[in-house]
C-alpha cells in the first residue's frame, strides 16, 4: 500500500549507525497533514488524497481554497496538494497523516522544487570549459563557443547547451531510505540529499522503483 506526506525541509545533518558509520541525512518536518478530500474510483475515476500542510490565515487564501477547507471542517493550510495513491482505505476527511505513516527502512521518493540560480552562463550551468587564454580568442573567454556551420544548416541545432535560467524546477529523487522517524518532533530523517533549499516544501511518497 502506497503512502504519502507533505513536509518542510529543515536541512541536512549526520547521524551514526550502530556499527559507527556516519550517515548523511536530510531532516524533514513531516506533517501533521489533515485530509481535505478523499478521491475514489467511483466518484473521481482514480484514487488520491488532498492533503494540507502548515497553518494559514483565512484572509491569505482564495475563496475556492477556503471553501474546500470549510467543507472538510479543517483549519486553513498554507499548502494544499493532491497525491495519488493506489488505495485510500482507512483515510477519512478530517483525519491527519502524521510522520509515523513511514517507518525506518521504508523506501520513498522525495519531490521538491530545486534551488534557483538565476540566469547563468554555460560554465556554471553546463560545466563547460573556458576557452583558451591566448591571443585571438578573446575578448570573452566564457562564451559557449561555435554555434555551428554558416552555410549548412545555417541555424543552431535544438538542445544546444547555452546560457539561461537554471533551477526552480520540479525534481524527484527516487528510492531514498528512511533512516529514522521521530514522532515526538514530527521529523523524518532520509538518507542523502533531496531537492530544494532549507524551508522549502517537500512531498514524500512510497517509492515506485523499490530495489531489493
Is 148 a member of any domain?
A: no
Is 212 a member of any domain?
A: no
> Phi first, then psi: what are they for 122, rounded to 5°?
-70, -25
**53 C-beta neighbours (distance < 10 Å), count:** 24
Query: Residue-wise pLDDT tens for the chain (212 aa)?
Result: 789 999 999 999 999 988 889 999 999 999 799 999 999 999 889 999 999 998 888 888 889 989 989 988 889 999 999 999 988 888 888 888 999 899 998 999 999 999 999 999 999 999 999 988 888 887 888 988 888 888 888 889 999 999 999 999 999 999 999 999 998 999 999 999 999 999 999 999 999 887 55
**pTM of the predicted model as reported, rounded to 2 decimal places:** 0.82
Q: Tell which residue, 134, 137, 157, has the closest CA to residue 145.
A: 137
Q: Domain containing 43 — which CATH number?
A: 3.30.160.810
Q: Give SS3 for 47.
A: coil
DSSP 99: G
- Give the model's pLDDT for residue 134: 87
Is 90 a member of any domain?
A: yes
**123 C-beta neighbours (distance < 10 Å), count:** 15
Which range of residues forms the domain containing residue 49? Answer: 4-111+170-206
Question: Are 53 and 139 within one domain?
Answer: no
Q: Tell which residue, 64, 27, 6, 77, has the closest CA to residue 189.
A: 27
- Give the model's pLDDT for residue 27: 96
Place of cell 550551468: 125
Is 135 a member of any domain?
A: yes
Question: Are 88 and 60 within one domain?
Answer: yes
Q: Say how many domains are in the chain.
A: 2
Burial 175-185 (b: 16+ CB within 10 A, else e): ebbbbbbeeee
Question: Are 10 and 92 within one domain?
Answer: yes
Q: Which H or E element spans position 39?
A: strand 33-39
22: β partners: 16
Question: Are 50 and 131 within one domain?
Answer: no
Question: Are 191 and 178 within one domain?
Answer: yes
Q: What distances in angstroms separate CA 6 from CA 19, 22, 60, 118, 133, one per listed residue? A: 31, 27, 20, 27, 50
Amino acid at each position: 500500500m502506497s503512502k504519502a506526506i507533505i513536509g518542510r525541509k529543515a536541512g541536512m545533518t549526520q547521524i551514526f549507525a550502530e556499527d559507527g558509520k556516519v550517515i548523511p541525512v536530510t531532516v524533514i518536518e513531516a506533517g501533521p497533514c489533515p485530509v481535505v478530500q478523499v478521491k475514489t474510483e467511483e466518484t473521481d475515476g482514480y484514487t488520491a488524497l488532498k492533503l494540507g500542510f502548515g497553518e494559514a490565515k483565512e484572509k491569505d487564501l482564495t475563496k475556492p481554497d477556503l471553501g474546500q477547507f470549510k467543507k472538510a471542517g479543517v483549519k486553513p493550510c498554507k499548502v494544499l496538494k493532491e497525491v495519488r495513491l493506489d488505495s485510500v482505505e482507512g483515510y477519512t476527511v478530517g483525519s491527519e497523516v502524521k510522520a509515523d505513516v513511514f517507518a525506518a527502512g521504508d523506501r520513498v521518493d522525495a519531490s521538491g522544487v530545486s534551488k534557483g540560480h538565476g540566469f547563468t552562463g554555460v560554465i556554471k550551468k553546463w560545466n563547460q570549459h573556458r576557452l583558451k587564454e591566448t591571443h585571438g580568442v578573446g575578448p570573452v573567454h566564457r562564451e559557449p563557443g561555435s554555434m555551428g556551420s554558416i552555410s549548412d544548416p545555417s541555424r543552431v541545432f535544438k538542445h544546444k547547451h547555452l546560457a539561461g535560467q537554471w533551477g526552480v524546477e520540479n525534481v524527484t529523487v527516487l528510492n531514498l531510505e528512511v533512516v529514522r522517524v521521530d514522532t515526538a518532533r514530527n521529523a523524518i530523517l532520509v538518507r542523502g540529499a533531496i531537492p530544494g533549499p532549507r524551508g522549502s516544501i517537500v512531498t514524500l511518497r512510497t517509492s515506485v522503483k523499490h530495489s531489493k
